[in-house]
Structure 1
Amino acid sequence: MRPPAWLWLPAAGAVLVVVVPLLGLLTSVDVGSLWPLLTSEASLDALLLSLRTAVVSTLLCILLGTPLAILLARGRWPGRSVLRALVLVPLVLPPVVGGLALLTTFGRRGLLGEHLVAAGVTISYTTTAVVLAQTFVALPFLVLSLEGAVRGLDPRQEQAAATLGASPWRRLTRVTLPLVGPGLLSGSVLAFARALGEFGATLTFAGSAQGRTRTLPLEIYLQREVDQDAAIALSLVLVVLATLIVGAVYARTTKGGPA
């Protein structure tokens, strides 16, 4: 069914707000100096660190977020709504607030950090802190996506497996997880994208040491002050990566497949 024609007017406004600035960034790139800027030592260190930490953070989100999403979707226990609200809080928190929360918890004088330091474990201002900050902000994306997928399942298939004598573990691994595979994949890719672009929590909790905690967004921020062309070139890398990631997630939707 064809939508009303007047929708093109506000839709054009949305394109103007979102798409045109990206085109402006693209037209500002000096193609001749793009490769030297992207292959500098600082840029490569930042890019490789971002990719490594984002992959580890995504794996943590899958490992920790999948059980949580299933329990939130299927569990019947007191405090479930409160826990869901708390888990989704990082979605609306300014990232710097998340960084402060992590610092006051895992910092050298934090709630848990001082005990970890006494045991010889330091988290703040290390690569581990980058992973933890990225996981903090990315985990809600996976939980939200996967919980919705689990809620949308037809329970009769799991009930049929239970009737045939399948154990809870077998039902989970052979029925539930395969059925919510697209939702898990979408949530994982979105979590990876969020981790890759994380800035505020990382800067607050991990600092900005080249090769150790300075991710690509931090490098862009620093280069903005000293070399505008380098900042634009690195920003273009993030834009391209984000476009590919989001396009991969929603490609199935445009083909009529599950979101």
Structure 2
Amino acid sequence: MPLLPAVLGGLLVAFLLLPVAALLSRGLGPGFWPALQGAAVQDALRVSLLTTGCAALLTVVLVTPVAWGLARFTFPGKAALETLLDLPMVLPPVVAGVGLLLAFGRQGWLGPPLELAGIRVAFSPAAVVLAQLFVAAPFYLRAARAGFAAVDPNLEAAARTDGAGGWAVFRFITWPLTLPFLLEGLILAWARALGEFGATILFAGSLQGTTRSVPLAIYAALESDLGPALVLSAVMVVVAFGVLLLVRGLAGLRQE
């Protein structure tokens, strides 16, 4: 390799790795286990696991049929709809939080009817789930749409010719062929939900044990006790590394 590209590449690698190394060296130090067992850290992990789990489940249930329809059918306005569905990927999270407040807050479009029904969304755990779903669903949608589009329609047609019904075709042909794409998209969506901050703090607030997820707990700890912030940051780095490894593995699996 020529000298200049090697030097520039080394500078980039150092720039990207130094902050990660600093986080891991401080966060995974001797005080890691005591800080990990603290109430603030445990509450943040519990809130994040519960809310991201709910957001992931809703993503699969709500987005999978949409991805299938977008991959298989052509209709007027399809391009505009796909653009709108991808919009949360590039929308600033703070703007997403404002939009969620205007839609589901007490003074929002759906706030008063929900209040009459005894349902309070804003500044509740449900608000955390909705914020995560809003910002993360497009990642799953893109992967699922690509997966359904990659299935050869001739395979499904041949199965129907052999007498298989619609559900049997989906279960034994479409689903197995699409599964690596779906898992890759779901992992990316879950990771994006886990790291959500801006929309959550505006729409759900930062209440320990209720709406304070890991990113919000890191932000709150920076103002008082650096220990939990370092521990949670190190945990997030390890989780992000594991997510990327999983995604790489699934990408290799679907290319075989």
TM tier, smaller:
over 0.9
Q: How does 1:1-259 map to 2 (within 5 A)?
A: 8-29=6-27, 31-253=29-251, 256-258=252-254
Residues 50, 196 of structure 1: 8 Å contact kept: yes
User: CA shift at 1:141, angstroms?
Assistant: 0.6
Report SS of the residue matched to 2:196. Answer: coil
Give, as a single letter, the amino acid of the residue that structure 2 aligns with 1:146: A
User: CA shift at 1:5, angstroms?
Assistant: 9.0
Gap runs ≥5 in structure 2: none
Counterparts of 2:162 and 2:6, CA distance in 1: 53
User: CA shift at 1:117, angstroms?
Assistant: 0.7
Counterparts of 1:27 and 1:74, CA distance in 2: 49
Report SS of the residue matched to 1:76. Answer: coil
TM-score in terms of structure 2 length: 0.93
Gap runs ≥5 in structure 1: none
Counterparts of 1:28 and 1:123, CA distance in 2: 37
Q: Measured at CA, do residues 152 and 8 of structure 1 come closer, stay the same or move farther in structure 2, by a change above 3 Å?
A: farther
User: CA shift at 1:65, angstroms?
Assistant: 1.0
Counterparts of 1:6 and 1:62, CA distance in 2: 47
User: CA shift at 1:155, angstroms?
Assistant: 1.8
Residues 30, 229 of structure 1: 8 Å contact kept: no
Q: Measured at CA, do residues 59 and 30 of structure 1 come closer, stay the same or move farther in structure 2, by a change above 3 Å?
A: closer
Report SS of the residue matched to 1:121. Answer: coil
Residues 106, 113 of structure 1: 8 Å contact kept: yes
The Cα offsets for residues 214-253 of structure 1, whole Å up to 9 and x where unpaired, read as: 1111000010111223211110011111111221221244
The Cα offsets for residues 46-82 of structure 1, whole Å up to 9 and x where unpaired, read as: 1111011111100111111111111111111111111
User: CA shift at 1:13, angstroms?
Assistant: 4.2
**Percent identical:** 43
Counterparts of 2:253 and 2:118, CA distance in 1: 50
Report SS of the residue matched to 1:54. Answer: helix
Alignment length, in residue pairs? 255
